[in-house]
Chain A
Amino acid sequence: MSVAGETSPPMLAIRDLQLGFRSHRGDVQALAGVSIEVGEREIVGIVGESGCGKSITALSVMGLLPEGTTRVMGGSIEFRGDDLLTLPPRERRQMRGRDIAMVFQEPMTSLNPIMPIGDQIAEPIRLHLGLKGAAVTEHALDVLDKVGIPRSRNILPDYPHQLSGGMRQRVMIAIALACNPSLIIADEPTTALDVTIQGQILDLMVEARDTFGTSILFITHDLGVVAEICDRVVVMYAGKVVETGRTDEVLSSPRHPYTQGLMRSLPSLDTRQERLETIPGSVPALFDMPRGCRFRPRCSYADDGCRRDPPVEVIGGQKVKCWKARQISGVHHA
Chain B
Amino acid sequence: MIFFIMRRLITLLPTLIVPLFLVFTLLHLSPGDPAAVMLGADATAQQVQALREQLGLNDPFLVQLFTWLGRMATLDLGDSIFLRMPVMDAILQRLEPTIMLTLYALTIAVVVGMVSGIVAAVNRNGVLDQVSMTVAMVGVSMPEFWFGLMLIVVFAVEFRLFPVAGYTPLDQGFWACIWSLTLPAVSVGLVQAGFIARITRSSMLDVIGEDFIRTARAKGLPSRVVILRHALKNALIPVLTVIGITFAVLMGGAIAIETVFNIPGIGRLLVNAVARRDYPVIQGVVLFMALTFIFINLFVDILYGFIDPRVKNQ
Chain A residues with a Cβ under 8 A of chain B: 62, 64, 68, 93-98, 101-102, 104, 106, 109-115, 123-124, 127-128, 159, 161-162, 172, 175
Contacts and interface: CB of A to CB of B under 8 A. Distances in A.
Contact of A161 (B212, B234, B313): B313
A95 B210 CA distance: 22
A114 B234 contact: yes
A114 B309 CA distance: 6
Interface of B: 125, 210-212, 214-222, 230, 233-234, 307-310, 313
Given A114-B233, A162-B313, A96 B212 contact: no
Contact of A104 (B215, B221, B307): B215
Nearest to B309: A159
6 contacts: A68-B125, A93-B220, A98-B220, A114-B233, A172-B215, A175-B219
Contacts of B210: 109
B310 A159 contact: yes
B220 A124 contact: yes
A110 B212 contact: yes
Contact of B219 (A96, A113, A114, A115): A96
B257 to A, nearest CB: 37
Contact of B212 (A62, A102, A113, A127): A113
Contacts of A159: 309-310, 313
B219 A161 contact: no
Nearest to B233: A114
Contact of B220 (A109, A112, A128, A172): A128
B215 A127 contact: no
Contacts of B216: 112, 123
Contacts of A111: 212, 215
A227 B24 CA distance: 76
B215 A175 contact: yes
B309 A161 contact: yes
Nearest to A105: B211
B193 to A, nearest CB: 25
Contacts of B217: 64, 96
B231 to A, nearest CB: 10
Contact of A97 (B125, B212, B218, B233): B218
Contact of B218 (A96, A112, A161): A96
Given A102-B218, A159-B310, 7 more contacts: A96-B220, A97-B218, A101-B219, A123-B216, A127-B221, A161-B313, A175-B219
Contacts of B215: 102, 104, 110-112, 172, 175
A123 B310 contact: no
Nearest to B209: A66
Nearest to B210: A109
B298 to A, nearest CB: 21
A111 B313 CA distance: 18
A114 B307 CA distance: 7
Contacts of A175: 215, 219
Nearest to A112: B212
Nearest to A121: B219
A310 B105 CA distance: 68
Contact of A110 (B214, B220, B222): B214
Contacts of A128: 220
A114 B313 CA distance: 12
B309 A124 contact: no
B222 A112 contact: no
A107 to B, nearest CB: 9
Contacts of A102: 215, 218
A183 to B, nearest CB: 12
